[in-house]
C-alpha cells in the first residue's frame, strides 16, 4: 500500500464519529450533489444492472441513499473504522474494507460506481490507474459519478484538507483522464458552494464504452 493510502486510512480512522456527525445528513443542505446522485441512480436503473459500489463510502450514508433509490448498493472504504460505523448504522447493507485501487469486484459486473469526494486524496500520477480500475468493474454502459473539488487553473492543486492531504482538479483535465480510462463524460456540473475555501464543487458523470 502506498504511503498516501496509509496516511489517509489512519487519518479517517481517527475522525470517524466526528466525520459521521458532520456529513451523514450533509446532502440535505447540498441540492446540487443530491440531485446529481439522484440522476446517477435513475440512469443506472435504466441500464438494467442495479448493482452499484459506493467507493470511499465513509459512514455509509450515500450507500443507504442509493439503496433507497432502488439500487443494489454496497460500500467499500479504506478505513476499518468507517466500515465498522457504516455496518452499525446500516445493518441491512454490505460494507467491506477495500482500496479503490484494488476493488474486490469481478470484471464488468456493476451498473455504477459512486466516488463522492473519495478520489481527492489520490496523487495525480496515480489517478489514471485508479480510474482504470473503476472502469474495469463497470458493465458496458455502466456509469461512474465522481465528485471532487474543482479549480479554475490548468493543473491539479494540492491542499491541506481537514483530514488528509488532497487535490483539486480542473474539470477538463479530469475529464481527459476519464476518456483515457475508456469512459465517456456525459454530464458536468460545476458550482460555487459559497464557502471561503476557494474551490468549485465538481461532479462528472461518465459512461463506460
Q: Residue 37 maps to which CATH number?
A: 3.40.50.150
Q: What is the mean pLDDT of the chain?
A: 92
Q: Is residue 175 part of a domain?
A: no
- Are 78 and 7 within 8 A, CB to CB? no
Residue 172 lies in a domain: no
For the beta carbon of residue 90, count every other beta carbon within 10 angstroms. Answer: 19
Model pLDDT, residue 170: 96
**Ramachandran sector of residue 70 (left: φ over 0; alpha: ψ -120 to 50; beta: rest):** left
Q: Does the residue 47 lie in any domain?
A: yes
Return the HEC string of 21-65: HHHCCHHHHCHHHHHHHHHHHHHHHHHCCCEEEEECCCCCHHHHH
Please indicate, yes or no, if residue 121 is contained in any of the structural domains.
yes
Pairing outcome for strands 157-159 and 183-191: unpaired
pTM of this prediction exceeds 0.85: yes
pLDDT in tens, 138-153: 999 999 999 999 998 8
Task: List the beta strands (DSSP E) in the chain.
Answer: 51-55, 72-77, 94-97, 110-116, 138-150, 157-159, 166-168, 183-191, 200-208
Residue 195's pLDDT is 61
Give residue 2's pLDDT band: very low, low, confident or very high (50, 70, 90): low
Residue 162 lies in a domain: yes
Highest mean pLDDT among 6-20, 71-85, 160-174 belongs to 71-85
66 in a structural domain: yes
pLDDT at 80 over 70: yes
Cell numbers at residue 13, please? 480512522
In a domain, 183, yes or no: no
Convert the pLDDT of each residue in 17-69 to its tens digit. Answer: 888 887 766 676 688 999 999 999 999 999 999 999 999 999 999 999 999 99
195: Cβ contacts below 8 Å, ≥ 6 apart:
none
CA dihedral 191→197→203→208, nearest 10 degrees, is: 150
Which domain does 58 fall in, by range?
3-23+31-102+110-166+188-193+201-208
Q: Is residue 48 exposed (0-12), middle (13-18) or buried (19+ Cβ within 10 Å)?
A: exposed
Let me know if residue 45 belongs to a domain.
yes
Number of structural domains (the chain) is: 1
Q: What is the pLDDT of residue 1?
A: 45
What confidence score (pLDDT) does residue 197 get? Answer: 62
Amino acid at each position: 500500500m502506498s504511503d498516501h493510502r496509509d496516511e489517509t486510512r489512519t487519518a479517517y480512522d481517527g475522525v470517524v464519529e466526528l466525520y459521521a456527525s458532520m456529513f451523514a445528513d450533509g446532502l440535505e443542505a447540498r441540492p446540487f450533489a443530491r440531485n446529481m446522485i439522484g440522476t446517477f441512480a435513475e440512469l443506472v436503473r435504466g441500464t438494467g444492472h442495479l448493482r452499484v459500489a459506493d467507493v470511499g463510502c465513509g459512514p455509509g450514508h450515500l450507500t443507504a441513499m442509493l439503496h433507497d433509490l432502488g439500487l443494489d448498493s454496497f460500500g467499500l472504504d479504506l478505513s476499518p473504522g468507517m466500515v465498522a460505523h457504516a455496518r452499525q448504522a446500516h445493518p441491512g447493507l454490505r460494507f467491506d474494507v477495500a482500496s479503490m485501487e484494488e476493488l474486490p469486484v469481478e470484471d464488468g459486473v456493476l451498473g455504477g460506481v459512486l466516488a463522492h469526494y473519495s478520489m481527492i486524496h489520490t496523487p495525480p500520477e496515480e489517478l489514471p490507474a485508479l480510474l482504470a480500475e473503476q472502469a474495469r468493474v463497470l458493465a458496458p454502459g455502466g456509469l461512474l459519478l465522481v465528485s471532487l473539488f474543482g479549480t479554475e487553473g490548468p493543473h491539479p492543486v494540492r491542499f491541506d484538507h481537514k483530514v488528509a492531504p488532497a487535490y483539486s482538479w480542473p474539470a477538463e483535465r479530469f475529464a481527459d483522464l476519464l476518456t483515457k480510462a475508456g469512459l465517456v463524460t456525459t454530464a458536468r456540473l460545476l458550482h460555487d458552494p459559497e464557502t471561503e475555501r476557494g474551490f468549485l464543487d465538481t461532479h462528472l458523470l461518465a459512461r463506460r464504452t
